[in-house]
Structure 1
Amino acid sequence: MSSGIADLLRASAARAPESPVVTGDGRPLTYGELDARSSRAAAALAELPPGSRVGYVDRNATEYFELLFGAAKAGVVLVPLNFRLAPDEMRWILDDADVSLVVAGTDHVPLLDGLSVPLIAVGDAYEDWLAAHPPADPRRDAAGDDLVVLMYSSGTTGRPKGVHVTAAGLAAAVDLFGAAFKLGPDTVSLVPIPYYHIAGAGWALITVAEGGTLVQCREPTPQSMLAQLVDFRVTHTAMVPAVIQIMTDLPAAATADFSRLQQIVYGASPISESLLSRAVALFGAEFFQSYGLTETIGVTTLLGPDQHIPGNPVKGRLRSAGRAVPGMEVAVADLETGEPAEPGVVGEVIVRGPCVTTGYWRNPAETDAAFLPGGWLRTGDAGSLDADGYLYLHDRIKDMIVSGGENVYPAEVESALAGHPAVQECAVIGVPSPRWGETPLAYVVLRPGAETAGEELLAWTRDRLAHYKCPTQVVFTGLLPRNPSGKILKRELRRPWWEEAGRGIG
């Protein structure tokens, strides 16, 4: 197992200092250059006490890696912020983390006006800061349960929480997750996910661990990602099913050369059988589904290529999030008793293993609430395991709809709706019902050029689900509200319905 993330860079730089580590959008770097520049950053950051926090606010950029590895070498903690946050939200996180320094892209500097700590703008000021310090690695690495990154959760239900990412946990995540993929020095990874997100940061780190090349996306769109897949002859990438769907519909994709593409990892939702068939035919690559949380450093389960075969004889397996990554444990706890649930019974998904966070920053109450005896982390996700250990996610527990005494999990309804050829994406919520307490309602975004009626979609779900699970209404919309991390804000969809009813639950 790797002893720390600074060692990942040191080892790759020693093996092949002239090999490219960052290309694509932004400033390109070789491993030797990244090692030297991150050592300059480390020499500067080592002037701070060990464990100090350093904020970073920008889109995906080369400076992120210089600071990440610099902080790791200096024994300080990087706090990457979501660049889409409002100024007040950014300041709240920076205050909560008690940062000593902030590095920000030029577009974000005006948003941080009035900070009480030094602010270094990317560009001339940042270059001067690096140049003022020697490329001397202080080797003051964090170890064990020492923090290396403080990664704030997206806060769908309130203020975000700072998730502890420790030296040991991150090293374990790189080893366990990286072992599942065919990575090496010839790997070219497209990284469209923001680095403030554990999926983007983790995907980048497993590539660096193997000495591969990162193709950086600063403002990813399906069109720009398609161009980069081809232009840089990408071998590995990660994306969400909604992007895969849009990409498969792009006219340019039909004649693009994907001959180097080997593996695609997706997450956030299952992939439909029809989309999988189109994507496999287009890309010719192996597909993986990944499920994880910031609190598990992104590593929990994988659904491998053997389950991504169109027409798979194991009915419904494509709806699974896969099985626990070797080294991790996944179980389901009964919602009432907390005892282990039987196969097929829905409960709360709980996780245990070396990648699980040690807790939340300066928040002992939330930390205590997050763990069960035995070191099991409560994910807040409702799910079930089958007899073979495959995990099926039903929904966030807080999003569960109780209709006439029956539990309805919106994700199950959304999965059924997503199989309709006219549906691009959807969100199912509970709305007031005088008879049942609440009933499911579906917000639907149609694919470009597609047409269908609400009654047709309702009939589609009735053919595939128990009737009590089916929506009673369909609302067509052009856009679903999302938080800065891209998660659909169902509370925003629910609010007008429940405010009108004068209550908050069924």
Structure 2
Amino acid sequence: MPPSVPDLLRDSAAKAPDVLAVTGDGRAIRYGELDERSDRVADLLAALPPGARVGYVDRNATEYFELLFGAAKAGVVLVPLNFRLAAKEMRWIIADADVSLVVAGPEHASSLTDLDVPVIAVGEPYERWLASGEPRDPRREAPGDGLLVLMYSSGTTGRPKGVHITAAGLAAGVELFGACFDVGPDSVSMVPIPYFHIAGAGWALITLARGGTLVQSREPTPGSMLAQLVDHRVTHTAMVPAVIQVMCELPAARDADFSALRQIVYGASPISEPLLARAVALFGAEFFQSYGLTETIGVTTLLGPDQHRPDNPVPGRLRSAGKAVPGMEVAVVDLETGEPAAPDVVGEVVVRGPCVTTGYWRNPEATAEAFLPGGWLRTGDAGSLDADGYLYLHDRLKDMIISGGENVYPAEVESVLAGHPGVLESAVIGVPSDRWGEVPHAVVVRRPGAPEVAEAELISWLRDRLAHYKCPAAVTFVDALPRNASGKVLKRELRRPWHENP
């Protein structure tokens, strides 16, 4: 049985209290201090009932770990919010999760002052609050099947779903995924991925569980990431292919010293063979591709360094998302019958194992729809397994757009567009982008009789109501949307021009 999440920090602090745990945000905190500060948080949060929810919204910062470990020690649930969301979106999540307390970065705290729960701003207010707690560990952890984190993912109907991340599930994910890499006490890991993503939080926890040093990126840019890699002698990092490509094009990268870098894990999309060759030549590190979901703690499949060799004898293997992480099971089932699909036949990817979520917050219907008999989680992704067990992702069963590693759900954007008086109807699709992989693009039918709406007006309307990465970069106006006989919009027809004329 893997150690609990609080024990990960307790053990590292006991073994090496003076070793640097987290740096990169203008602070440097050692394991002993991180353990002591999380004890103070735990002492304060223990005043809440077991299982109460505590919100956190800010860019990557040390306070996240103080709250995560403190909440875990006190048996309360951390709800990390996407700092890119509009204030209205944040308020909806805070209300849905029935949050009792929110810790927020200064720029976010000022927009949440009308909440009915206390909002503590990071900085002096947070430090005063922390100092009022005693440095004692209440040791009131949740049971293995109890909630540790409630992580919201965007919803196809315009409302996000709270994914249950249990104490046992997160501990198993850290152990199973961490065993795939050589992270240890000598490691320096850079995490540019936001902690509200399971990929960012999970990779950070793997580093802390093994006594390494975490270098966090608060406002990552290709230039700042390059500087961190070099200045901190980073040994491990995680990023998306779009970022890898930009970094490969930086003139300053050509003469940079990456000799400390050992392993890079990437996800969100495959990497092209030309980009891989450039990245291997530049960084000189081992590459891993990871496929996972919030619902699996990010732990599903992994394509290892052996399959990233330029001389790989299996053609197309680089397009694979890899094989199941040891301890997890991956299968593909027929879309109609739910029976196992034959090798190389496309069906729905399903997952089973100790990292799989127990369901969705106060959403029994979505929970029931997500599982097949036998505990198999439906991923909503279309894929196939070859005879050797390698998973190939062919498409998304839902129309999700992945832009720069961020998930964008068209229905949410379309719902906001529907509120504009000049819009009759719309469809949002993903179109290719050299920089981001995909970007949202809106196809809009203007409302007859209303003042004629322009592209810039619609984009501004969306940016006032949604996180900017969700907003289309361009709008096409049409007389009508293509539909099939049942009236469903044919998005494949809308995408066709970009794929016929890339």
1:188/1:142 CA distance change after superposition, 3 Å? same
In structure 2, which of residues 431, 456, 473 is the aligned counterpart of residue 443 of structure 1? Answer: 431
Map of 1:453 onto structure 2: none
What secondary structure does 2:79 align onto?
A: strand
CA distance in 2, matches of 1:265, 1:305: 10
1:127/1:322 CA distance change after superposition, 3 Å? same
1:120/1:244 CA distance change after superposition, 3 Å? same
Name stretches of at least 5 consecutive residues in structure 2 with no aligned partner. 411-428, 437-458, 491-502
Question: After the TM superposition, which residues 364-443 of structure 1 pair with which residues of structure 2 at under 5 Å, given as runs?
Answer: 364-399=364-399, 443=431
Name stretches of at least 5 consecutive residues in structure 1 with no aligned partner. 401-409, 415-426, 430-440, 449-478
Q: Deviations over 1:67-107 (max 9, x none)?
A: 00000010000000000101110000000000110111101
Letter of the structure 2 residue corresponding to residue 291 of structure 1: Y
Map of 1:81 onto structure 2: 81
Map of 1:433 onto structure 2: none
Map of 2:344 onto structure 1: 344
| Maintained 8 Å contact 2:53/2:100 | yes
Q: Deviations over 1:471-503 (max 9, x none)?
A: xxxxxxxx9x9998998779x989856954475
Map of 1:7 onto structure 2: 7
| Maintained 8 Å contact 1:3/1:143 | no
Question: After the TM superposition, which residues 193-204 of structure 1 pair with which residues of structure 2 at under 5 Å, given as runs?
Answer: 193-204=193-204
CA distance in 2, matches of 1:389, 1:26: 45
Map of 2:186 onto structure 1: 186
Q: CA deviation at 1:444?
A: 3.9
Q: Deviations over 1:4-55 (max 9, x none)?
A: 1100000000000000001112321000000000000000000000000000
Map of 2:254 onto structure 1: 254
Map of 2:273 onto structure 1: 273
Output the aligned Cα RMSD. 2.6
1:487/1:499 CA distance change after superposition, 3 Å? farther
Tell me, yes or no, if structure 1 residue 284 matches structure 2 residue 284. yes
| Maintained 8 Å contact 1:26/1:216 | no
Letter of the structure 2 residue corresponding to residue 505 of structure 1: V
CA distance in 1, matches of 2:41, 2:6: 13
Letter of the structure 2 residue corresponding to residue 256 of structure 1: A
CA distance in 1, matches of 2:299, 2:466: 22
Taking only the aligned residue pairs, the percentage that are identical comes to 73
Q: CA deviation at 1:156?
A: 4.7
Map of 2:32 onto structure 1: 32
CA distance in 1, matches of 2:113, 2:480: 37
What secondary structure does 2:111 align onto?
A: helix
| Maintained 8 Å contact 2:383/2:394 | yes
Q: CA deviation at 1:158?
A: 2.1
Letter of the structure 2 residue corresponding to residue 265 of structure 1: V
Q: Deviations over 1:245-296 (max 9, x none)?
A: 0100100000000000000000000000000000000000000000000000
Q: Deviations over 1:302-331 (max 9, x none)?
A: 000000111322100000000000000000
1:172/1:496 CA distance change after superposition, 3 Å? farther
What secondary structure does 2:37 align onto?
A: helix
Letter of the structure 2 residue corresponding to residue 280 of structure 1: V
Q: Deviations over 1:321-369 (max 9, x none)?
A: 0000000000001011111100111110000000000000010000000
| Maintained 8 Å contact 1:154/1:485 | no
Map of 1:58 onto structure 2: 58
Map of 1:174 onto structure 2: 174
| Maintained 8 Å contact 1:145/1:168 | yes
Question: After the TM superposition, which residues 252-331 of structure 1 pair with which residues of structure 2 at under 5 Å, given as runs?
Answer: 252-331=252-331
| Maintained 8 Å contact 2:301/2:321 | yes
| Maintained 8 Å contact 1:498/1:504 | no
With normalisation by structure 2, the TM-score equals 0.83
CA distance in 1, matches of 2:374, 2:489: 33
Q: How many residues align?
A: 439
CA distance in 2, matches of 1:323, 1:128: 48
CA distance in 2, matches of 1:336, 1:301: 24
What secondary structure does 1:365 align onto?
A: helix
CA distance in 2, matches of 1:351, 1:137: 36
Map of 2:235 onto structure 1: 235
1:280/1:157 CA distance change after superposition, 3 Å? farther
| Maintained 8 Å contact 2:84/2:468 | no
CA distance in 1, matches of 2:59, 2:80: 10
Letter of the structure 2 residue corresponding to residue 29 of structure 1: I
Map of 2:130 onto structure 1: 130
| Maintained 8 Å contact 2:51/2:147 | yes
1:42/1:356 CA distance change after superposition, 3 Å? same
Bigger mean CA offset, 309-318 vs 247-256: 309-318
CA distance in 2, matches of 1:72, 1:335: 39
Map of 2:143 onto structure 1: 143
| Maintained 8 Å contact 1:264/1:287 | yes
CA distance in 1, matches of 2:74, 2:253: 44
What secondary structure does 1:48 align onto?
A: coil
1:498/1:166 CA distance change after superposition, 3 Å? farther
Q: CA deviation at 1:143?
A: 2.1
Map of 2:414 onto structure 1: none
| Maintained 8 Å contact 1:498/1:505 | no
1:493/1:146 CA distance change after superposition, 3 Å? farther
Letter of the structure 2 residue corresponding to residue 243 of structure 1: V
CA distance in 2, matches of 1:348, 1:488: 26
CA distance in 2, matches of 1:297, 1:110: 31
Map of 1:434 onto structure 2: none
Map of 1:221 onto structure 2: 221
What secondary structure does 1:344 align onto?
A: coil
| Maintained 8 Å contact 1:150/1:162 | yes
Map of 2:422 onto structure 1: none
Instruction: Flag as ranges the 4+ runs of structure 1 deviating above 3 A.
Output: 441-448, 481-490, 492-504
Q: CA deviation at 1:222?
A: 1.0
What secondary structure does 2:279 align onto?
A: helix
Q: CA deviation at 1:109?
A: 1.0
